[in-house]
């Protein structure tokens, strides 16, 4: 899925899930100015760079801001879906297993984590969510976060904030805690260590082992 921009009410849903946004973006399509224009409705009035930034999968908030221009970007309420950073790592491992047509295992996950830990900066670019939301100076370019662990309540809060008659919803509902049963307990702390900035910035506290 790609990011969604609505002119009325003015909001932007930032896609950071690398193609796994659970269908929230799809549920927002009735508000999506690009989709309405493509369906023969009023033109969106957006520039080519803005449309390209919105249509790029996983382009992130900075790309959308740069495409729209900082002043225009500031006029929108921005939000995104995130999950616990360790859940995002586990999702990346499962995607690797699927691509390689192999079954996931604790041994395989341990090897995957070891490879990530060998180059934490590259690992954060690969499995991180913060990179798609940060402004480059330690701040976030979104006004609110929907956390997978609190999905229904957070989506209801967003709908109330924007006055949406059609509340955003998830078309897929994965278990937000599935990673806990898969992670070797002795690897939670070291993995959390190189993800510490991400865990803090996205509002997740210490992980109970």
Q: What is the pLDDT of residues 85-112, one digit of tens each?
A: 999 999 999 989 999 999 999 999 999 9
The residue to which tokens 């990179």 are assigned: 131
Q: Looking at the structure, do residues 55 and 121 belong to the same domain, yes or no?
A: no
Q: Looking at the structure, do residues 17 and 38 belong to the same domain, yes or no?
A: yes
Judged by average pLDDT, the poorest of 5-19, 77-91, 171-185 is 5-19
CA distance 80 to 158: 10
Return the biggest CA–CA distance within the chain: 56
Q: Which helix (H) or strand (E) holds 150?
A: none
The count of structural domains within the chain is 2
Q: Which helix (H) or strand (E) holds 108?
A: helix 106-117
Supply angle C-alpha 145, 65, 46, rounded to 5: 115
Percent over 70 (pLDDT), the chain: 88
Q: Looking at the structure, do residues 75 and 139 belong to the same domain, yes or no?
A: yes
Q: Looking at the structure, do residues 105 and 48 belong to the same domain, yes or no?
A: no
Q: Looking at the structure, do residues 19 and 97 belong to the same domain, yes or no?
A: no
Check whether the bond before 9 is cis (ω within 30° of 0). Answer: yes
Supply angle C-alpha 200, 202, 204, rounded to 5: 60
Q: Hey, how many other C-beta atoms are within 10 angstroms of the C-beta on 112? A: 19
Q: Looking at the structure, do residues 190 and 170 belong to the same domain, yes or no?
A: no
Q: What is the pLDDT of residue 24?
A: 87
Burial 26-38 (b: 16+ CB within 10 A, else e): bbbeebbbbbbee
* Segment 8-25 mean pLDDT: 79
Q: Looking at the structure, do residues 2 and 67 belong to the same domain, yes or no?
A: yes
Q: What is the pLDDT of residue 90?
A: 93
Kindly tell me if the per-residue pLDDT of 1 is higher than 60: no
Q: Looking at the structure, do residues 13 and 96 belong to the same domain, yes or no?
A: no
Q: Looking at the structure, do residues 78 and 91 belong to the same domain, yes or no?
A: no
Q: Looking at the structure, do residues 188 and 103 belong to the same domain, yes or no?
A: yes
Q: Looking at the structure, do residues 52 and 19 belong to the same domain, yes or no?
A: yes
Q: Looking at the structure, do residues 23 and 62 belong to the same domain, yes or no?
A: yes
Range of the domain at 195: 84-128+177-209
pLDDT in tens, 128-175: 899 889 988 878 999 999 999 999 999 999 999 999 987 888 888 888
The dihedral region occupied by 203, where left means phi > 0, alpha psi between -120 and 50, and beta the remainder, is left
């Amino acid at each position: 899925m790609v990011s969604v921009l609505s002119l009325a009410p003015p909001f932007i849903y930032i896609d950071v899930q690398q193609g796994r946004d659970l269908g929230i973006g799809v549920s927002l399509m009735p508000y999506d100015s690009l989709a309405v224009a493509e369906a023969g409705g009023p033109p969106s009035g957006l520039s080519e760079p803005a449309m390209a930034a919105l249509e790029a999968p996983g382009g992130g908030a900075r790309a959308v801001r740069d495409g729209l221009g900082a002043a225009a970007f500031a006029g929108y309420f921005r939000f995104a879906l995130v999950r616990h950073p360790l859940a995002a790592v586990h999702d990346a491992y499962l995607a690797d297993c699927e691509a390689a047509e192999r079954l996931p295992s604790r041994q395989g996950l341990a090897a995957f984590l070891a490879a990530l830990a060998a180059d934490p900066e590259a690992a954060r670019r690969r499995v991180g969510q913060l990179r798609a939301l940060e402004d480059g100076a330690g701040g976030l370019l979104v006004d609110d976060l929907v956390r997978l662990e609190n999905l229904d309540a957070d989506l209801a809060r967003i709908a109330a904030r924007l006055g949406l008659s059609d509340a955003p919803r998830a078309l897929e509902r994965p278990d937000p805690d599935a990673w806990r049963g898969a992670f070797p307990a002795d690897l939670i702390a070291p993995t959390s260590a190189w993800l510490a900035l991400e865990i803090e910035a996205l509002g997740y506290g210490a992980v109970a082992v």
